[in-house]
């Protein structure tokens, strides 16, 4: 009887410890498809790490910091104007006012990310706006990544001038994010650095398939895209489509590992979850790269 009581007590203590160890966080993301990509697997990673994560989102495809701010201005000027309620019929104020958010992230539109002038004054205005609603929230800035090295065009780095290649795009994107982060005293989520570390690796970097017939492709044939972090080539509606910008499942996983480590101090070395598209060897390399960002 005494032994049974002790066993029950141990089980109850174990349950209580598990509940107490699990931490709840509320994270609000202001971004676009790139933030959707980078945080894709964050719920799986946080759950595995014993974190109860609630996500809030204000994400619009191709949305820049300027557009997010202009939507705020419209909504603040007239709360009944539907033009300011672009986030599922709600304004940014309405979404940010739903309870207490522990963390909020912002980012720039990838096409403009290499030009720091496009961040000003909108990053500052958004920062101040967030703080008026969530004064205790920690604000992060999500550093996006360069397009794939075989992209037709790369992001802008000064006005209409574009980067000549992926390396130059990353250099300017990185510099711009660090400049704005320093101005606003923000912590950077360095996803772009993780992408660059993989894509420039002689072993792990994607290399364009020079044997594929890109001029007259025949469905369902695709070029070899081993190690790509970007969507790349795929067949859609009978046509060969090319997306050198957005992350594929591997890129989304890499980005999520960076978010997990940066926002929650997650030990990526211990992470067991991975999407089936990512090999064990690649997952190991991703974790090595992410840990080096600390």
Domains of the chain: 23-208+252-291 (3.40.50.1110)
What pLDDT is stored for residue 20 in this prediction?
38
Task: Check if the beta carbon of residue 173 is closer than 8 Å to that of residue 188.
Answer: no
Tokens read off for 66: 């300027």
Q: How confident is the model at residue 90 (pLDDT cuts 50, 70, 90)?
A: very high
Short-list 171, 181, 200, 169, CA closest to 262? 181
Output the DSSP codes for 272-284.
----TTS-HHHHH
Averaged pLDDT, 200-209: 98
> Could you give the 3-state DSSP secondary structure of residue 59?
strand
CA 163/CA 254 separation, integer angstroms: 24
Model confidence pLDDT, tens digit, residues 221-269: 999 999 999 999 999 999 999 999 999 999 999 999 999 999 999 999 9
Tokens read off for 286: 């991703």
Tell me: pLDDT of 37 over 60. yes
CA 255/CA 37 separation, integer angstroms: 7
Model confidence pLDDT, tens digit, residues 99-146: 999 999 999 999 999 999 999 999 999 999 999 999 999 999 999 999
pTM for the model stands at 0.92
> Could you give the 3-state DSSP secondary structure of residue 172?
helix
CA 134/CA 101 separation, integer angstroms: 7
Measured from the Cβ of residue 81, the count of other Cβ atoms closer than 10 Å reads 12
Averaged pLDDT, 197-211: 98
Task: Check if the beta carbon of residue 158 is closer than 8 Å to that of residue 115.
Answer: yes
CA 84/CA 90 separation, integer angstroms: 8
Helix, strand counts (H, E) of the chain: 10, 9
Tokens read off for 64: 């820049």
What pLDDT is stored for residue 4 in this prediction?
53
What pLDDT is stored for residue 226 in this prediction?
98
**Residue 112 or 4, more confident:** 112
189 beta partners: 142
What pLDDT is stored for residue 294 in this prediction?
86
Q: How confident is the model at residue 13 (pLDDT cuts 50, 70, 90)?
A: very low
């Amino acid at each position: 009887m005494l032994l049974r009581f002790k066993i029950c007590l141990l089980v109850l203590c174990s349950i209580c410890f598990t509940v107490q160890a699990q931490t709840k966080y509320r994270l609000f993301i202001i971004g676009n498809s790139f933030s959707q990509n980078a945080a894709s697997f964050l719920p799986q990673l946080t759950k595995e790490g014993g974190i109860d994560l609630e996500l809030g989102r204000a994400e619009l495809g191709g949305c820049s910091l300027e557009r997010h701010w202009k939507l705020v201005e419209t909504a603040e000027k007239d709360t009944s104007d539907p033009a300011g309620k672009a986030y599922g019929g709600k304004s940014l104020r309405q979404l940010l006012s739903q309870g207490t958010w522990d963390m909020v992230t912002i980012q720039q539109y990838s096409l403009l990310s290499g030009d720091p002038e496009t961040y000003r004054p909108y990053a500052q205005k958004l920062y101040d706006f967030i703080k008026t609603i969530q004064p205790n929230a920690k604000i992060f800035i999500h550093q996006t990544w360069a397009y794939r090295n075989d992209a037709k065009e790369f992001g802008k780095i000064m006005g209409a001038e574009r980067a000549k290649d992926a390396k130059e795009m990353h250099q300017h994107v990185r510099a711009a994010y660090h400049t704005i982060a320093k101005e606003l005293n923000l912590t950077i989520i360095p996803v772009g650095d993780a992408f660059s570390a993989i894509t420039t690796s002689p072993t792990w970097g994607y290399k364009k398939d020079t044997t594929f017939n890109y001029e007259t492709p025949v469905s369902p044939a695709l070029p070899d895209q081993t190690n790509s972090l970007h969507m790349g080539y795929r067949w859609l509606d009978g046509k060969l489509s090319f997306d050198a910008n957005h992350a594929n499942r591997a890129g989304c996983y890499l980005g999520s590992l960076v978010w997990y480590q940066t926002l929650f101090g997650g030990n990526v070395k211990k992470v067991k979850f991975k999407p089936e598209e990512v090999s064990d060897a690649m997952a190991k390399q991703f974790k090595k790269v992410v840990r080096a960002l600390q």
